[in-house]
Structure formats: C-alpha cells, structure tokens
Amino acid sequence: MPIFDTHAHYDSSGFNADRDAVLAALPAAGVELVVDPGCDVKSSRAAVALAGAYPHVYAAVGIHPEDCGGCTEADFDVLRELCRHKKVVAIGEIGLDYYWKENPPREFQEQVFRRQIELALALDLPVIVHDRDAHGDSLRVVLDYPGLRGVFHCFSGSPEMAAELIKRGWYLGFDGPVTYKNARRAPEVADVTPLDRMVVETDAPYLTPVPFRGKRNDSRYLPYVIGQLAAWKGVTPAEMERRTFENGKRLYGLE
Ligand SMILES: [Zn+2]
C-alpha cells in the first residue's frame, strides 16, 4: 500500500545530517510520494532542487506568513519562475499566523497571502494554506476567491469551518497531533470530513506522532496518523492509506 506525505519539509536544516539517506529510504518504507513546500524564496528553491533529484518528491513554492516580513514583488517573480519546473505542484505554504507576537503585522500577512493566491489562480495551481490562530480571517480570505482550490494544512479549525471548506471543494490535512491524547477537535473534524477529502502529512521535521513525539519526524511515521484516522472513520488502515494516497494525487494533479 502506498503512502503520500502531502507536506514535509525535507529542505529543512533538521535534515542536514542525513537528508539523502532519509529520502532514499522512503520508497522501501511504502512512502511513494512526498510534497515539500517552501517557506521563503530560499527554501522554495531548495524544495524544487529536491524534487529534481528524487522521482518520488514534488515541490510547492511559497512564502510562509512567519517568513514574509520584507518580501517584495521581486520575490513573487522568483516564485512564478520556479513554477515553470514541471514538479512544482502547488503554491505554499502560505497563509496567516497570529500565534507568534513577533510575526509580521496581520495586514501585511494578508496582503502577501492574497498576492500568492492570485499567483496560484493565474497558474491554475492549488494552494497549501497555513492557518494558525487565524481561522476567521483565513476563511474570509479564501472565500473571496471562488475558483481557488487546495488544502488547509494541519487543519485546526472547528468542525463548522471544516464543513464550510469541504462544501467548497477543499481538502483538509491531518498530522501527528491527531495521535496526541489531548486531541479534542480533531476527532470532530474527522467526523465531518468525507473520506475523499482527507490527506495525511508529517510537516516533518515537526509534529511527530505518538509514540515518537519529541523525536524528529519523517514520512515513515505516517502510519500512526493513518491508523488514528482509520479508527475514527471506521475503516481499515489499508483503506485509509489508499484513500489518502488517491486524494493527495487528486489534490496536486498527479493522476
Ligand atoms: Zn509546514
């Protein structure tokens, strides 16, 4: 059964010691597809380079809200240029992050978010949305663009918000926190999310699932996420693996 890690940062410095060994080991562990999203121009370039080097790796390019301070039109030009690479499958990760006080001002984050949504629409690509403590504003922004499609990565909103997004064709990403004992909203969100709209992600090197919480995450731990989702949805892990693999391919146009 194939696994699709739809969101993993293998360009991160957390993999500097053994990046090639980890990436090369994934197919044998059943991980047949990975999307590596960029967080700024530098990591977007790095993600594209990894996609060029590994048949099972694809890239997204984008500027993360935490890293958007000082970004300019020249940066968006670079992103647009990177999208000419045939293995760039999305714009991301982009969005709003109100968690960290030192983040760029909300108004600027929103401008950068909208600018990149417009780029995705112009290039007919899906977006990978990062929404941390900014649920109302993230929903308001994406609903301004009826043709927009994509995924809410590591979705942490309410079941009502999930239902709103699903109605409009969005996918929801589920990560390691679904395995944490205090996962409160996640089972309710899983409950309202149809099997054909769920994708699984590591967000590696972050968000490691139980029982490896605290260690560095990589795609080989995804079966723990898949197992928890399968239990919540009342299907076998093999069925959940198959469905999330198909959904990931549909989301990123890899069919
Ligand atoms: Zn991420």
Q: Which amino acid is at 82?
A: L
Tell me, what DSSP letter sits at residue 105? Answer: P
Q: Residue 145 Cα, ligand 1 centroid: separation in angstroms? A: 23
Domain CATH for 190? 3.20.20.140
Cα 9 to ligand 1 centroid, rounded to whole Å: 7
Say what the pLDDT of residue 7 is: 98
Peptide bond preceding 205 in cis form (omega within 30 of 0): yes
Q: How many distinct structural domains can be found in the chain?
A: 1
Distance (angstroms) between ligand 1 centre and the Cα of 141 equals 20
Confidence bin at 2 (pLDDT 50/70/90): very high
- Domain enclosing residue 71, as ranges: 3-251
Q: Where are the alpha helices (DSSP H) in the chain?
A: 19-25, 41-53, 73-82, 106-123, 135-143, 159-167, 185-192, 222-233, 237-251
**pLDDT of 254 over the 80 cut:** yes
CA–CA gap between residue 215 and residue 252 (Å, rounded): 29
Q: 39: Cβ–Cβ under 8 A, 6 or more apart, which residues?
A: 9, 62, 63, 64, 66, 67, 93
CA of 41 relative to ligand 1 center, distance in Å: 15
Q: How confident is the model at residue 1 (pLDDT cuts 50, 70, 90)?
A: low
Give 191 Cα–ligand 1 centroid separation in angstroms: 24
- The per-residue pLDDT for range 40-58, each reduced to its tens digit, is 999 999 999 999 999 999 9
Q: Which token pair is 67?
A: 């890293």
Express each pLDDT in 151-183 by its tens digit. Answer: 999 999 999 999 999 999 999 999 999 999 888
- In whole angstroms, give the CA distance from residue 108 to residue 106: 5
Distance 73 CA to ligand 1 centre (A): 23
Residue type, 158: S
Task: Give residue 51's Cα distance to chain centre.
Answer: 16
